[in-house]
Amino acid sequence: MKALNVGVAEVLGRIQAGDRHAASWATARQAHPSPETALTAFLGYLTDAGDWPALLEILQAAAATMPAGRWDDEALQGRLLQARDAGAPADLLVWCEALIAEMTHNLPVLLHAGTRLQRLRPDLAEGPLFVVRALTRNSRYDEAEPHAQELTRRFADDSRSWLAAADLAEAQGNVDAALAVFAHMRETFANLADGYVRPLELLKRRKRLEEAASLLKAALEARPQDRAVRVAAAKYFADIQDHELASEQWRAIAEMEPGNPQYALNAATALIGRPGGRDKRWPRVLAKLEAASARFPDHTGIHSALLSALRNVDRAEDAVRLAREWQNRHPGQIAIEIELAEALGDLGRWSEARRLLDEWRLREPGSARVVTALARSMSETGDGESADRLLAAALEKAPADFALHTCHGRLASRRGDFEESLRRWERARQFRPDDQRVERQINMLREQLGLPGLETKSSADSGLFAGFISLGGTLGGCEFGVAQRHFGSTDLGLLRWAQTKVEQLRAAFEREFEGVGEESNTVLSLRRRSIDDQEYVTSDRNFGMITHTFVQVEDMPADRMLTQTCRRLRFLKGKLLEDLRAGGKTFVFKIAHPTSDDEIRALFAALRRYGDSDLLCVFQADDARPPRTLRVVERGLFAGYLGYFMGNPNGGVGAIDLEGWKSLALQLAALPDSDRFADRLPAAA
């Protein structure tokens, strides 16, 4: 059973004070698995009781805090008719009609009901508020403007008026005007967090992170005990992938409200954080979840997360045992049952997992998580055709569901049909055109098939790295490849996602990459971040190159993966040798360790055995070499310096100094011909 939104839970707590309606709510919650259907049923109880204030308060809380809820419009309209037949006041009915329209995103009804409420209750801010919101969300900005001005004039002491004005300004693209409204709110409504929280969200959306960080600092100093500010801080740190600070904020919130299990859960799971280093953090996550489970022994969310953490520290047997115990105490909890099935799968007991999931498919036919887990168990028990049919049927009903597309694509990959997997992900892109996860999957598959990656959106920097070829790096060798992709370069490369040492790369040049791509010379291993995120990586016995494949263990059996990967490596090796012999290119190698000019000269000499090309070696800046410095070591050999490398906290965890890479490319383009061998290309603006 899903947890209630905090705002709605607080309202329910007030309504049930002194046992008023407590039994009715308990009945609704027990009978309905989702918060939306339970609340809809509870509205019927309140209507039968004629408790119009409680009815209105519940709808207000739901509209404000559950705007993305899966509400049943027809059922809610039924409750409205029920209230009308029971003699509810006319103004309350119109008010409730507008709130239901907000919850179900029915803008014409919202506008109509708001206009009627203005006439019925001119003393209320709600009528004009509904009108401004409806016009803003429908992009009717010119019509919304006078209503917003009138709203802030007549109801200047109502913070919601100013929030509506800020939303309108942002929708019009006038971010600075919206920020000015929020600044006014911080001065006028000093007791409210909205003046900090809402502009923080706006600045994050607009990627104005320095301003966001400054505002967050001010918010924490001004309102350190405000839960909304702390929640915003936790989300901000999660967004910039600082899992430690995110967890610290949730811990502070949990201390403010020690009886709320959701905050204890968030404090633990926030530590999971970004993929890098996740495997090492799982024991700490597990310890926090065990403590939370001891305090809240009946909380399904905590127990489900605890089972996942046990699986991630290779304690699947313990996960199965605890899940069975929980089944006996609290039967019928889908989250627990799915974790049990996945733990059984971890132990290779796929037939048991499939039987369990088959039962849940009958009870929850619309659950994507049940469908994907069942499809995986079908595939693992040799019934890939049934898994394909199951997922195809589910996608007919939910064509934009990312989890379903992931599982559907993996089924094709597991049988070695990367072409079909690519077709499936390209269909997914039709329904999720702006989803970067879909683009990453497509690019991975295209690389596996020896195809160039997706074209990125054109910009002033398109073509910036034309003629550049990545040689990887000594640490985080994929960084320049990521920068290339950002700036529109989709070229394939043997070393684009590789890590190697300077002396090993020099040896590879001298021996023409002898043996690369041969199965006897290629070691296939795993890079594990979690039990459900294990990527195949390859290493070369001759030259020590460690290379990402971007293929998950779930996507393909190891024997098939080795054959497929070696075929791809041989193709990319041939392409690299062709590029070296053709000359006129700029090769880029990132060096994260102290390296002398003599060492990079030796590397350059090995590269120039093939033809006249340039070599750019990129280092991290120091006191002697400031960021974005480009130094000519000799003709065709350059040393560039960046302020930080990928993963350095100075740039934000996981960040890449894209502007630094761009600066080095522009400086290279501006050098005279006498300093370069590479073909001159037009510099991007």
3-state SS record for 8-45: HHHHHHHHCHHHCCHHHHHHHHHHCCCHHHHHHHHHHH
Specify which residues 536 forms β-bridges with.
Answer: 526
Specify which residues 547 forms β-bridges with.
Answer: 498, 538
Strand order across the 468-473 sheet: 522-530, 533-540, 546-552, 498-499, 468-473, 586-590, 614-620, 637-642, 630-634
Strands (E), 411-511: 468-473, 498-499
Residues 6+ apart with CB under 8 A from 398: 366, 368, 404
Structure-token match 């924490």, residue found: 220
- How far is 229 from 273, CA to CA, in rounded Å? 20
Q: Tokens for 204?
A: 């994050």
Structure-token match 């992709």, residue found: 485
Q: How far is CA 500 from the centre of its chain?
A: 30
User: For 212, what's the count of Cα atoms within 13 Å in the CB-facing half-sphere?
Assistant: 19
**H-helix or E-strand spanning residue 630:** strand 630-634
Structure-token match 């590269």, residue found: 607
35, 4 Cβ separation under 8 angstroms: yes
Specify which residues 614 forms β-bridges with.
Answer: 586
- How far is 288 from 313, CA to CA, in rounded Å? 14
Residue 645 Cα distances to 4, 279, 549, angstroms: 42, 22, 22
At residue 20, the pLDDT reads: 66
Specify which residues 634 forms β-bridges with.
Answer: 637
CA end-to-end span of the chain: 55
Within 10 angstroms of residue 76's Cβ, the number of other Cβ atoms is: 22
Polymer length in residues for the chain: 685
CA dihedral sign, ordered 71, 260, 235, 404: negative
User: What is the maximum span of the chain, computed from C-alpha positions, in angstroms?
Assistant: 91
| Rounded (5°) CA angle 50-56-60 | 160
What's the predicted TM-score (pTM) here? 0.71
Pick the closest to residue 193 from 158, 156, 225, 237 (CA basis). Answer: 225
- How far is 540 from 214, CA to CA, in rounded Å? 47
User: For 7, what's the count of Cα atoms within 13 Å in the CB-facing half-sphere?
Assistant: 12
At residue 590, the pLDDT reads: 97
HEC per residue, 568-603: HHHHHHHHHHHHHHHCCCEEEEECCCCCCHHHHHHH
38, 31 Cβ separation under 8 angstroms: yes
- How far is 120 from 93, CA to CA, in rounded Å? 11
> Which residue type does 549 have?
T
What helix, strand, coil percent values describe the chain, rounded to 5? 60, 10, 30
- How far is 69 from 9, CA to CA, in rounded Å? 15
Fill in the DSSP letter of residue 122: T
Q: Tokens for 639?
A: 């040393």
Within 10 angstroms of residue 556's Cβ, the number of other Cβ atoms is: 24
Residues 6+ apart with CB under 8 A from 266: 234, 250, 253, 254
User: For 662, what's the count of Cα atoms within 13 Å in the CB-facing half-sphere?
Assistant: 15
Pick the closest to residue 130 from 157, 148, 142, 146 (CA basis). Answer: 148
Mean pLDDT by 10 residues, the chain (685 residues): 57 60 77 78 84 85 73 86 90 92 91 95 94 95 95 95 95 95 94 93 88 94 93 91 90 93 94 79 94 94 95 94 92 90 94 93 85 93 93 91 90 86 90 80 78 60 79 91 80 89 96 95 86 85 92 81 90 94 94 94 96 95 92 95 74 68 92 81 45
Q: Where are the alpha helices (DSSP H) in 257-365?
A: 261-269, 278-295, 300-312, 316-329, 334-346, 350-363
Pick the closest to residue 638 from 618, 610, 612 (CA basis). Answer: 618
- How far is 635 from 673, CA to CA, in rounded Å? 9
169, 178 Cβ separation under 8 angstroms: yes
Strands 586-590 and 468-473: parallel
Q: Where are the alpha helices (DSSP H) in 334-401?
A: 334-346, 350-363, 368-380, 384-397
Strands 546-552 and 498-499: antiparallel
- How far is 148 from 42, CA to CA, in rounded Å? 34
